[in-house]
Amino acid sequence: MNAGPVTAAELARAGAALAAESARFAELGWMRGTSGNLSVVLRDDPLRLAVTASGRDKGELVDQDVVLVDAAGAAVADQPSPGQRPSAEAGLHARIAATTGAAAVVHVHVLAPVLAAERWPDGLVLRDLEMLKGLGRAAHDDEVTIPVVPNSQDMTLLGDRFARVHDPGIPALIVARHGVYVWGRDLAQARHRAECLEWLAAFALAAHGRPTPIG
């Protein structure tokens, strides 16, 4: 990863990538209204992330609809493209990136995992499903629990809840009655994992609909 301050050109490239991914999710109905946010890591030390700007229709973002934030999720004062406001949830993006080493985090309001969290508030337990490969797990004889945490408007509290349930082998978190956070080595992998999580949650709801392991 590059060293030194983030340049305007770097932030614009990140903004273009985030806009393209946001449009994909909006088309799926996973970023309704102005909801949801995506991020990519641009620097490790100190941590700097490019995050989609708050209050924008995620299906209509442009390169400039991006904010450079620090490890606390606050806009960097001398960012190369000032004037945009980050979502309050940028703090959790930064916490996840710092904890997991992920280079991209997606937060979307996909319905199936949120409904699954209503049925299984202690975690969505899955096994013996081919789609688990999409989360980097084995298709057979590998029990996977997608963690669920209660929602909060306090990102420090929500980050602490994430830290308590985080399993390095599970690249996803369900926030009850809210949405999901999924991460990966880049935006494409994070998106693929989000798509697989949606399928897995939909399967669990359709096949069982009761709080027992899938298998």
Q: What is the pLDDT of residue 82?
A: 73
Selection from 213, 214, 117, 112 nearest residue 165 by Cα: 117
Q: Which residues contact 165 (CB under 8 A, 6 or more apart)?
A: 123, 147, 148, 149, 173
- DSSP for 78-102, written as a single string: T-SSTT--B-TTHHHHHHHHHHH--
CATH code that applies to domain 8-207: 3.40.225.10
Q: What is the pLDDT of residue 123?
A: 97
Total-model pTM = 0.93
Q: Which residues contact 70 (CB under 8 A, 6 or more apart)?
A: 46, 47, 48, 76, 94
Cα–Cα distances (Å) from 138 to 27, 61, 97, 143, 157, in that order, read: 30, 36, 24, 9, 32
- Can you list the residues of the chain whose pLDDT is less than 70? 1, 209-215
Q: What is the pLDDT of residue 214?
A: 47
- pLDDT tens per residue across span 128-163: 999 999 999 999 999 999 999 999 999 999 999 999
Domain chopping of the chain, boundaries: 8-207
Preceding omega of 113 cis (within 30 degrees of 0): no
Pairwise CA distance, residues 151 & 32, whole Å? 19
Q: What is the pLDDT of residue 85?
A: 87
Q: What is the pLDDT of residue 10?
A: 95
Rounded to 10°, the helix 187-207/111-119 angle is 50
